[in-house]
Structure 1
Amino acid sequence: MKKIFVLLCLMVNVVGSAQEWNTELEAAKRKAVAFNKNILLVFSGSDWCIPCMELEKKVWQTPEFKAAAQSDWVLLRADFLEKKGDPEPVNVNDPKMILTEKYNRDGFFPFIVTLDKYGKVIGKIGYEDFDTADEYIFLFRKMRK
C-alpha cells in the first residue's frame, strides 16, 4: 500500500507542475518522508500583512522559487486571513492553530520555519528585504540539514 501511495505521489508530482501548498502537518510529513525532502513552513496573513503580500509576489509566485520548491521542499502554509465582523471562537483543532502552537507561539508574520521530514525545526527566519527570490532560496537552502 505504501508503494502505491509513493507511486501516486510521484505521478502527481510529475504530471502536475503547479505549486502545491499543504495546510496540514501530517500530510506534509508523509510527503517529505516519501520524497526525502525538508518542509518549508510559512506563516502568513495573505490579505492583511504587507510583508506577507510582498513575499507572495517577490518569492512564492516566481518561477525560480517554484522550480526550487519542486526539487527541494514540501510546502506547508498556515495562512491567517483577516476576519471581518465579530470574532469567531478559536478552534484548537484547526490545522493552522496546531502549527502555530507548535512552531510560532509568538505569532510572528511572516515567519518561515524549515523542518526536517519528521517535523523537527532546522531553522527559522522572518521577513528579509531581499530584492530577488534567489536570495530567499539561497537562505532557505542554507538552513538544510
Structure 2
Amino acid sequence: MKLLIILLATGLSLSFTNWQPDFETAKKLAGEEHKYILLNFSGSDWCAPCIRLHKEVFESDEFKTLADQALVLYRADFPRSKKNRLPKELQLSNEALADKYNPLGKFPYTVVMTADGQVIRSWDGYSNNSAQFIEQIKTVCHAGRK
C-alpha cells in the first residue's frame, strides 16, 4: 500500500510534457492549442552538448511547466549508432526539417516557431546555463502573447 501511495504521489507531481512523434503532429497541435513549436535538432547518442541540453533544460521541472503552457515539442534527432537508427520515414522527415531550418547542420540547434513555420527565435548550441536558456524561451513565449 505504501508503494502505491508513493507511486501516485510521484506520478501526480510529474509533468506530462510530451515530445511529439512527428513534426506534422506537432504543427497540428500547435495550431489547435495556440502554442509555439520548439524544434530541437539533436544528436542524441553522440553530441555531448545535445545530451546536456536535454538533461539540464528539457528535463527540468521549470522547462516542463513552460512547455505545458506555451509549447509543442519536437526533436529532430540524428543518432549515429546503428542501434538508435530511426525509421527511414522519420529520418527523411528530419532531414527535410534540417534542410529548411538548420541548413548548416549545427548541433544542438533549437528553434521556436509558429504553427505555420515562421521562425521566432533560434539558438545555436548550448551555453551550459540552463536558467538563462529557459528564461530566453520564456521571453519569446510571453512576447507572443501580448
Note whether the superposition's TM-score is higher than 0.5. yes
Structure 1 residues 102 and 17: CA distance shift in structure 2, 3 A: same
Q: For 1:22, what is the secondary structure of its paired residue?
A: coil
Of 104, 110, 135 in structure 2, the residue corresponding to residue 138 of structure 1 is 135
1:143 offset after TM fit, Å?
3.0
TM (normalized to structure 2)?
Answer: 0.76
Q: Which has the higher helix share?
A: 2
Q: Are the counterparts in 1 of residues 108 and 124 from structure 2 also a CA contact under 8 Å?
A: yes
> What's the CA shift for 1:140?
1.3
**SS of equivalent residue, structure 1 residue 82:** coil
106-115 vs 120-129, which moves further: 120-129
Cα distance in 1 between the residues matched to 2:111 and 2:77: 14
Point out where structure 2 has 5 or more consecutive residues left out of the alignment: 1-13, 83-87
Unaligned runs of 5+ in 1: 1-15, 85-89
Q: Conserved in 1, the CA contact under 8 Å of 2:49 and 2:125?
A: yes
Find the counterpart in structure 1 of residue 96 from structure 2. 98
Superposition deviation, residue 23 in structure 1? 4.0
Query: 1:109-120 maps to which residues of 2 (within 5 A)?
Result: 109-120=107-118
Same amino acid, percent of matched pairs: 36
Which of 52, 55, 72 is equivalent to 2:53?
A: 55
Structure 1 segments of 4 or more deviating over 6 A?
A: 90-93
